[in-house]
Chains A and B, each alone.
Chain A
Amino acid sequence: MKIELLYWAGCPSHPEALELLQTLLAERGLEANVDLREVRTDEEAQTLHFPGSPTIRVNGRDVDAAGAEGRPALTCRIYHLADGRVSPIPSREQLQEALA
């Protein structure tokens, strides 16, 4: 399993996202490494199709397909939770589904 976590340092959310991701991996007994990649420039955001920080891809698939097509930018990414709330990181359920 290939897991990438792309982040922009200007947004404070990626440590929390990484912690949640690692917790879920441990709960499932998965040994996969998380490939952390910092996105530093607008050009990199364009090249990497980076719609905001954090962006997490499992085997190349964004954990939030709906948000994956957002305009590439150095920004904090918005995730919509099942209960209608907004979050700066994917939900536990979104990550669980992506890891299944």
Chain B
Amino acid sequence: MSIAIAQTAPTFTLPGVDGRDHSLDDYRDARALVLVQSCNHCPYVRAWEGRLMAIQRDYIERDVRIVAISSNDVANHPEDSFEQMQMRAREQRFNFDYLYDESQSIARALGSARTPEVFVFDGNRSLAYHGSIDDNRDETAVTSRYLRDALDAVLSGVVPAVADTPPVGCTVKWQS
């Protein structure tokens, strides 16, 4: 069960693929913070990856920060290791931070179930939107752009019309 709308973002300090630690407070200037439960190996993540980069590019000047977090157990999914995360971020030229939640504490705090799964926090770090990036993994068939709509609402100081959608993707790989 994911955290509820209006709940506060969990605090964290996690290593990023850039070799630095990143904490919630590092993003204090962002008018909206998007935490994305993510990983390397999932085809749904990869299908949406380009759209996520486009959203970061389109909203960076409006002080929106996207932060992807991988929490997957790497014992059974070695392609999600920190080294592989660094490689993927470099290859794809991610324009957002990509953090490694080895203890899975952030995934548990968010109540994440899927990758990708999006959590949009407003300027007060209160959850304003949770769920999918949009309504179709196939970009050519998208009709509702949930994440963009939620960001537009948050940046306008209003509550998103759609605040919760079911995330579609791979399951988070929990440690046994």
Contacts and interface: CB of A to CB of B under 8 A. Distances in A.
Given A73-B76, A75-B41, A87 B47 contact: yes
B42 A12 contact: no
Contacts, number: 37
B115 to A, nearest CB: 9
Chain A interface main SS type: loop
Interface residues on B, range: 10 to 19
B171 A10 contact: yes
Interface in A71-93: 73-79, 85-88
B46 A75 contact: no
Interface in B13-51: 41-44, 46-47
A11 interface: yes
A91 to B, nearest CB: 11
Contacts of A73: 76-77
A11 B41 CA distance: 12
A12 B77 CA distance: 18
Nearest to B50: A85
A75 B76 CA distance: 9
Nearest to B169: A12
B41 A88 contact: no
B43 A12 contact: no
Interface string B52-75: 000000000000000000000000
Interface of B: 41-44, 46-47, 76-77, 137-139, 168-171
